[in-house]
Structure 1
Amino acid sequence: EPAGNQLPYIDSLAVQRVDSPEIMAAKASTGQVDFAGRQFMTADIPLFKRFEQNNDYSTYVWPRPYGSDVVLQFNLNHPDEGLRRIFQDVRFRRAMSLAINRDEINDIVYFGYGVPRQLTVVSASRYFEPEFATAWAEFDPARARALFDEMGLVDRDGDGRRERLDGKPLQITLEYMIGETPKQVTLDLVSAYWREVEVNVNLKQISGTLQRIRARAGLMDMTIWHADRNADILFPIEPYWYVPTNGGWEQSQWSKWTRWYFSDGALGWEPPAQIKELIGWWEILRRTTDEEERIAMGKKILRSQAENLWALGVIGLGPHPVVVSRKLRNVPPQGYWGWDSRWTWPYYPETWYLEE
């Protein structure tokens, strides 16, 4: 350590495997672990705080470095031409964003400690601008209704639901799987807000196998995941939420445009000029060695997201509990918990030690 003293060695590491996150939380809250954070949820924070004094551990609350804990994605390459036309209209995406009461979600789900925001990089990023996080993120259901009406998405038969431009009911299914962030409760609230503006979105939880198959094939109306890759570690090389360069299971926005990109135009659908421009900016961003040019390209990509809402954010930098035994030393009380930083890597766990 800095003073030249030999730190006590940790001779072995025992990993406990349990059957559910609930059992894991129970073990942590009763002092049965020295360190834990994976699979904990924001909702576990009161439990850990309540029992920490009697069980000789501390509860650190680290923000997740995610642009949004739930990123809402419309299938811009939908095989149904009617839905595709609606989803590709920026007015629809803006209206759906304006209909979400982010402040209420923050109070109900995050105890007021999250950040209501639009999908963009974290605020500490060199690519961040404040207007990126506030774009179309205010709660304004009247303005949302006006945008739907302007598009021609109106309730023609008086059943309380809007119809599509072709006269069919506007019915959207959001397929998703849960994990890591408070997805289910957030979706329950978001879908209720959308019903208030006469847009019916059915929630359908599916397995990981179906998620991988249906998202990659472009068969979903909508899906979600959490918006990782929004810190400077990964955003420049994997701006997947903003540029169609990922054919992964977590995305449903633009599988056909992504396939076109990966195949040099042999497969998928040729994207419009606006999307080609996004890809071009990213190609410069990932190759240039000029710092000013790199930042300029990154901000162009994010400004396009703020204007076009290629995907929607809800709450970012959500609080995450990390349980640390008071015997375990050198664990910093402040940090970030998430994929971008690989959870504990930046905090030098090789320097942690047990003080008996």
Structure 2
Amino acid sequence: MRLAVGLVLAGVVAIVGAPPPAAAQPVEPPVLAEAVAAGTLPPMTQRLPEVPRVIDLPAQGKTLGRPGGRIVTLMSRDKDIRLMTVNGYSRLVGYTADLELAPDILRRVEVAEGRVFTLFLRPGHRWSDGHPFTAEDFRYWWEDMANNPVIEPGGPPPQMMPHGAPPRFEILDPLTVRYTWDQPNPLFLPALAGARPLQIYRPAHYLRRFHAAHADPDALAARIEAADARDWRALHYDRDRWYRNTNPARPSLDPWVNITDPPARRYVFRRNPYFHRMDTAGQQLPYLDEIAIDITDAKLVPAKAAAGESDLQARYLGFDAYTVLKAAELRGGPIVTLWREGQGSSVALYPNLTTTDPVWRAVLRQADVRRALSLAIDRHEVNQVVFFGLGLEINNTLLPQSPLFDADIARRYADRDVDRANALLDSVGLTERDSRGTRLLPDGRPMDLIVEEDGEDRTRLDALRLIQDHWAELGIRMYIRTFSREVLKRRVYAGSSIMVASSGLNNGLATPEMPPTELVPVAQDMWPWSAWGQHHETQGEAGERVDMAAASRLVELYAAWMTSTTRDEQTAIWTEILTLHAENQFSIGVVAGGKQPVVRTRRLRNLPDAALYTWTPGAHFGIYGLDTLYLAPEDDAGAAATEEPGPEPGDGPG
């Protein structure tokens, strides 16, 4: 792992993060002072762990905040309140802004030989209801949930079974647990730090009452009937929806806890009085007392954000809304900045190599066809017209901010050359054309290439309309069909799609220690090779075996990464995987590093003006510390105005 203390996987390494800064005497959040005075809530010295996580904000270029206040953000569906789990980013271990792993909920982690993980909890850490957080919460998940055939018929999640076998789980003492695998498990720590993390603990004291192995049978039957649940498994599942935040009664370790039962038009998340972080001035985090989520139509979000109805907004704001948002800022409205997207490509095309159309399958499996399609795209035109020249004209690969970035890989087959593209298509025998100049497939059909997408991104549609003209110069007619995301997935799983347009790699910022899963046919939900991924996921019971040499090599490299224990090994594997992708154009990137508008009220402080907005590893706002945001006094609001952010270091030219 790239840890906060360095890379020593072959031996034993303790992940302890940077030495904690000294903190001043604890200072009660004003909103909790009355409850503390009344004796209904313990004082802060008793609520926080004996060794809290102390955040040195000045060292991060931030300012010490002032506690209190509420901000409002907008979502379009009740289910989107799950993003509070993402953005709150309370994790056993988490990524820093420099993409290093560091303890968060945990006090320390020790890793031996890449396969033995010892987790040390913080003494005195408590759930949001005040109950101690201990090793029992890990035991409950592992024995009563992950390995319970009623709750998990398929057994533990794949990150716990990296080579087909589970770890040995041990409780060393009430605050220490250990997981031991026979072989290295490089998936484990990155999974714990994910935007939707692997959650290997549960509030056992709360959930036991819904579990058949622990609850009184009569009491459990009454709870099942009262909840109108199908059985105890369904009841337990409903009460434990930690990611979706739908059960206000469930204790949490997040900075804010939902207090609103769904469905609702407004959800309120209130500060967790037992949250484990504090600043160097002795103030408990988070600074904000509440975050409210208003449910509205997604189409109205840009206008509402411009009108100041959201204090922090990025979701549902496309780059096409920037002009309106900026105009509102100039009129005295909220601040709008542009963060760079962290995906491998803002627009990417995925030839379906396992489509059920045998003719298109044979054509698309020829690397020269995919290279020709890439060479024909005028990325510069797409960048200028759709992204106002702010994007990077590269493949669907890692971004310059990644330590694995390679300029040659990024540009391979990315410079427009229509003559070469036509020559490549001729060289594979696609020489026949109809009276309109459209090339013919080997079975005589015109090369009418249907590209399917989900309609969620207008800039992607604009880019595709330009690419239609580019590919027409090859004698290929592209047609765009839009489906809902769920329907599109089903079509890809069934092999009906010929090509899909979507965003690129979710993680364009990968480090060698992060799994290269997105680039390898190991999961069904992959646009270029769903059937191969399904075959891997089901261990050969469904889908199709990989039958292309380059793709088979990707699987071999992934297997090698799964047993790697050094950064050098992982770097070499990643480099070969990225090279194979660029050379074979398994996905065709168009423009990367598009810009994401981020709107904030003028009073909100400690949010970067320029940063990377990405699901993984950034968890959107997560790694930038949502708990450290605070509201400046009303008379200081004007100080938040910013100038247009310039290019970020390492961006390079398009």
**Normalization by structure 1: what TM-score?**
0.93
Is this contact kept in 2: 1:59–1:322, CA < 8 A?
yes
How far 1:268 sits from its partner (Å)? 2.5
Q: Distance in 2 between matches of 1:32 and 1:162?
A: 53
Matching residue of 1:36:
313
How far 1:208 sits from its partner (Å)? 2.5
For structure 1, the 5+ residue unaligned runs are none
Matching residue of 2:529:
254
What whole-Å deviation, never above 9, does each CA across 1:242-291 have from its counterpart, x for those lacking one?
2111211xx33112221222233343222233322211111222331210
Q: Which amino acid aligns with 1:312?
A: I
Count of matched residue positions in the alignment of Structure 1 and Structure 2: 352
Is this contact kept in 2: 1:8–1:355, CA < 8 A?
no
CA separation of 1:347 and 1:14: change in aligned 2, threshold 3 A: same
**Which of these two proteins has the greater Rg computed from alpha carbons?**
2
Is this contact kept in 2: 1:31–1:55, CA < 8 A?
no
How far 1:292 sits from its partner (Å)? 0.2
Q: Which amino acid aligns with 1:14?
A: A
Q: Which amino acid aligns with 1:296?
A: A
What whole-Å deviation, never above 9, does each CA across 1:292-338 have from its counterpart, x for those lacking one?
00010001100001111111000001111101111111111121112
Matching residue of 2:580:
304
Matching residue of 1:317:
593
What whole-Å deviation, never above 9, does each CA across 1:87-128 have from its counterpart, x for those lacking one?
000110000001111001110111111111111111221222
Q: Distance in 1 between matches of 2:559 and 2:297?
A: 44
Q: Which amino acid aligns with 1:13?
A: I
Deviates more, 1:225-234 or 1:317-326: 225-234
Q: Which amino acid aligns with 2:298?
A: S
Is this contact kept in 1: 2:65–2:629, CA < 8 A?
no
Q: Distance in 1 between matches of 2:377 and 2:392?
A: 14
Deviates more, 1:230-239 or 1:114-123: 230-239
Is this contact kept in 2: 1:67–1:119, CA < 8 A?
yes
How far 1:229 sits from its partner (Å)? 2.3
CA separation of 1:329 and 1:68: change in aligned 2, threshold 3 A: same
**Identical counterparts, % of pairs:** 28
Q: Distance in 1 between matches of 2:289 and 2:312?
A: 16
**Normalization by structure 2: what TM-score?**
0.52
Q: Distance in 2 between matches of 1:5 and 1:166?
A: 69
Q: Distance in 2 between matches of 1:61 and 1:20?
A: 20
Cα RMSD (Å) of the superposition? 2.0
SS at match of 1:201: strand
How far 1:16 sits from its partner (Å)? 2.2
Is 1:236 the counterpart of 2:514? The answer is yes
Is this contact kept in 2: 1:191–1:200, CA < 8 A?
yes
Is this contact kept in 2: 1:160–1:198, CA < 8 A?
yes
Deviates more, 1:33-42 or 1:11-20: 11-20
How far 1:179 sits from its partner (Å)? 2.4
CA separation of 1:76 and 1:113: change in aligned 2, threshold 3 A: same
SS at match of 1:55: coil
Question: 1 or 2 for the larger relative contact order (CA 8 Å, sep ≥6)?
Answer: 1
Is this contact kept in 1: 2:434–2:446, CA < 8 A?
no
1:11 pairs, out of 277, 285, 289, with 289
Q: Distance in 1 between matches of 2:440 and 2:333?
A: 58
Q: Distance in 1 between matches of 2:502 and 2:336?
A: 26
> What does residue range 20-35 of structure 1 map to in structure 2 within 5 Å?
20-21=298-299, 23-35=300-312
Q: Which amino acid aligns with 1:261?
A: H
> What does residue range 73-152 of structure 1 map to in structure 2 within 5 Å?
73-152=350-429
Q: Which amino acid aligns with 1:108?
A: V
What whole-Å deviation, never above 9, does each CA across 1:132-185 have from its counterpart, x for those lacking one?
110100111111111111122134332221001232222221111022572111
Deviates more, 1:49-58 or 1:4-13: 4-13
